[in-house]
Structure 1
Amino acid sequence: MRVFARAATAGALLALAAAVLLPGAAAQAHDVLESTSPANGSTVASVPGAVVLTFDHTPIAIGTKITVTDASGADESAGDATVVDNQVTQALKQGAPAGKYTVVWRVVSSDSHPIEGTFTFTARAAGGGSGGTTAGPTGAASAPNASAPAASATPSGPTEVVGAGVPAWLIVGGTVLLLVIAALAYFVRRGLSGPSSED
């Protein structure tokens, strides 16, 4: 009977550890980039006034940086990126030329870990700056108009995010489950092979 008592005790302790660790692990998961405006790989009528990144949580403004370069490699970013709620917006220079653009971003996730990625879009005409008008799923020059294009971005838009793979809670949960199984197997085997005088 001592074997089963030990196994029950070990299982209870491991279950308690899992209950404490799993919520913390879930809270430590990196933010996920949900969409971009313009969408990754899309072609827009003209260069938008800004590019907008939408995350599942609000990232930390400190350390956030977005660089938008045109086909010649020139940086067309205007000023610093701004964080409002779960959206990060980077304004572009007025009169930015037509062509393919590459957006390289790096933000600090709400769990304080940096994440980064890149995406591209192509503009058929030069931008008009903050007063420009764009068509289709392009980004808007001002933050109030930026949310609608971001929501309509295609699911396949954003490129991979560093550190945003398998959820942390799933890894921790699987590890705890394996520990519970190993502990139970150990105590059962020990009880079966131990001397009968222990009972």
Structure 2
Amino acid sequence: MTPPAVPDGTKVLWRALAGAAVVLLALLGGSGAAQAHDALEATSPADGSSVATAPHVVTLTMSNTPAAIGAEVKVLDAAGTNWSEGAVSVLDNVATQAVKPGAPAGKYTVQWRLVSSDSHPVEGQFTFTAKAAAAGSGAVAGPAESIQAPSAAAAQAAPDGGGVPWSVFGLMGVLVVVVVAMVGVARKRLKASD
């Protein structure tokens, strides 16, 4: 009886590398969907729109329900005065920020930062213009705080900080060890059959 044919070392190596590539592609391809963060779907007032009077609330509609903890929405007038009042409230996928009574007419920039449903922060900004001041209740409320005009860097959405999760690197390391072990076993079998 003849011994079973042993494939040469090159074939074994290529098969091992092909298997490792398939596993790696499966891991990296599957992590792409997990890295997607919630996205802003709509705002009220709409980005770039003009409204009759300064609104009483500003809303952001997200693709998924964000966390209320860590949420921040600033409603800034042209001078950089923040007209936000109280904490951001989140109901389903809508984040709502109250605006102080007496907000003046003019252009507003809304800077927002929410915690995505995947626990990563997402942020951005949008603008709208109020043609008239908001109706106040008696005395006009003053600003909560004054900040500098937003810089160009703050105007851009924050990078998601996602990238490839560390677990993928760990799995890649394990995969490399397995491939090296397979090549070592294949070489020993080839030497034994000679």
Q: Does residue 101 of structure 1 match 2:108?
A: yes
Instruction: Give CA deviations for 1:64-96 in whole Å, capped at 9, x if unaligned.
Output: 100112233322112111112222111111232
1:39 maps to which residue?
Answer: 46
> Unaligned regions of 5+ residues in structure 1, if any?
131-158, 177-182, 188-197
Contact 1:51 1:90 (8 Å CA) reproduced: yes
Amino acid at match of 2:158: V
* Residue correspondence of structure 1 range 1-199 to structure 2 within 5 A: 1-128=8-135, 160-163=156-159
Contact 1:30 1:163 (8 Å CA) reproduced: no
Amino acid at match of 1:115: V
What is the TM-score when the length of structure 1 is the normalising length? 0.61
1:34 shift after superposition: 2.2
CA distance in 1 between counterparts of 2:12 and 2:136 reads 73
Contact 1:33 1:161 (8 Å CA) reproduced: no
1:2 shift after superposition: 3.2
> Unaligned regions of 5+ residues in structure 2, if any?
1-7, 138-154, 173-178, 184-192
2:190 maps to which residue?
Answer: none
> Relative to structure 1, is the Cα distance of residues 65 and 166 closer, same or farther in structure 2, using a 3 angstrom cutoff?
closer
Amino acid at match of 1:41: G
Contact 1:26 1:167 (8 Å CA) reproduced: no
Aligned CA RMSD, in angstroms, stands at 3.2
CA distance in 2 between counterparts of 1:68 and 1:128 reads 16
Moved over 4 A (4+): 164-169
> Relative to structure 1, is the Cα distance of residues 90 and 167 closer, same or farther in structure 2, using a 3 angstrom cutoff?
same
Amino acid at match of 1:40: D
Give identity over the alignment, percent: 49
CA distance in 1 between counterparts of 2:85 and 2:23 reads 51
Secondary structure (helix, strand or coil) at the match of 1:104 reads strand
1:150 maps to which residue?
Answer: none
CA distance in 2 between counterparts of 1:10 and 1:128 reads 70
Q: Which has the larger radius of gyration?
A: 2
Contact 1:32 1:161 (8 Å CA) reproduced: no
Amino acid at match of 1:162: A
